Amino acid sequence: MPHLDPAQLDAQFTPPIERCLDEPAHEAAWEHEWNWQTPRLCEFDNYGKRLGNKRLSQFQCIKVGPLADALEDIGEVDAAQAMRRCGCYVIVDRYERGTVFRAMTECNHLVCPTAQRRRAAKLVEEKGGAIERYIRRNPGSRPLMATLTTKAVAAYDLWVAVDQIFKAFSKFTRRVAIKRAFLAWLRSLEISRNPQTGLFMVHLHCIFIVGPDYFKPGSKEYLSFEKLRAAWKASLRADYDPMVRIEKMRGGFAPLTVTGRKSLQEALKYCFKPGAIFYTKTGGRPAIVGATTRELFDPNDGKGLRWLTNVPLRAIIQALKDRRLVETSGNLKGNLDLDFTDDPDAETRAHEAELGEFICSDLYAWREVRGRGDFFFVGRSFERPANEGGFAMGP
Ligand SMILES: [Zn+2]
């Protein structure tokens, strides 16, 4: 269980720091368990003020509760421990015109909801930048958004299905017609689960960049829907017609507009649909799918296929661990070192200009009061934070 450790708090803040916890500062005095007592108030009136970020609180409830328990159940004891500590302290850097959230002691686990969100935000910036550069260098080219699917599989086949879709995609991109049509590509894996059947669906969200002549009448590059589906079917070696979707990507990409960023987010937001693992019980408490029911699964421990609890979680971790979940063609990787036109600090400066003057950093600690959790204000620093980049989260 996480402790409210003053040494840990102070390490995150350079002086001057004002701490509003009026308790003895030696470590032994801070060995409170999870439900630590409300400390006495000192000079800070807003001690105990809630952060009021509902999404963040929901995520934290899932993480430190049912998700950590489920990880422990499947034998991932270290991950469970890291998850219970993950994001229990949140720093909010307040600026004139906005705030930046920073979470401390993050677990970065594959199934951690906040880690997943942070990864997505980073990917959108990174890949958005690569697409922007590509289109600027190749005027007239434009991105299309596609979804390539496979048929549903049982949990114990998920790992194999992910393997197959990656291999099929690599074959797909080597086909002559595909190479001629799509000049650059990005693929992002996503897994969903049908709660009724319990079957998993593996699919790829793809961005295909086409040249200026792609849509011209009589274009040799153009691929009809039927041709695209046939190419995907052949790459999959499927005996069924896989579902395929393709459309123009909405928004501007050079420069990247708000709508363009939203489209990118659609493709990159997560590697599994949250509903595959999380659900809300009646009454609003978060819970993990399959925590109390048994399904057939082989956890690869040499004991073979058998009935186990937490199978959706086991299957997703097994299938996604150590995979390249997002991959691009070489020409979208770009060599940032060789890109002299881009000023690496320009973005940071632009972001700071947007936010205005730094005001203060507020520290919030997670705690549970009678079974309900929230982030509570515990300290404030007026020292400007070192620029390491936070993750933007809506208020
Ligand atoms: Zn985490």
Residues 63 and 170 in one domain: no
Q: Are 90 and 51 in contact (CB under 8 A)?
A: yes
Q: What are the tens digits of pLDDT across the range 234-274? A: 999 999 999 999 999 999 898 889 999 999 999 998 999 88
Query: Residue 144 C-alpha to ligand 1 middle, in angstroms?
Result: 33
Mean of per-residue pLDDT scores for the chain: 83
Minimal CA–CA distance to 394: which of 87, 117, 104, 112?
Answer: 117
Q: What are the tens digits of pLDDT across the range 138-159? A: 999 999 999 999 999 999 999 9
- Segment 66-89 shows an average pLDDT of 93
Domain-located, residue 99: yes
- Segment 71-78 shows an average pLDDT of 95
Domain-located, residue 307: no
Residues 126 and 226 in one domain: yes
Euclidean distance between the first and the last CA atom of the chain, given in angstroms as a whole number? 28
Task: List for the chain the helix, strand, coil content (%; round to 5).
Answer: 35, 25, 40
**Prior bond of 299 cis (ω within 30°):** no
Query: Residue 109 C-alpha to ligand 1 middle, in angstroms?
Result: 6
Domain-located, residue 208: yes
Residues 58 and 202 in one domain: no
Residues 95 and 178 in one domain: no
User: Which residues, 6+ apart, have CB-to-CB distance to 370 below 8 Å?
Assistant: none
pTM of the model: 0.80
Residues 171 and 265 in one domain: yes
> What is the per-residue pLDDT for 32?
39
Query: Residue 110 C-alpha to ligand 1 middle, in angstroms?
Result: 8
* Residue-number span of the structural domain to which 219 is assigned: 114-281+324-334
Residues with a beta carbon under 5 angstroms from ion ligand 1: 86, 106-107, 112, 115
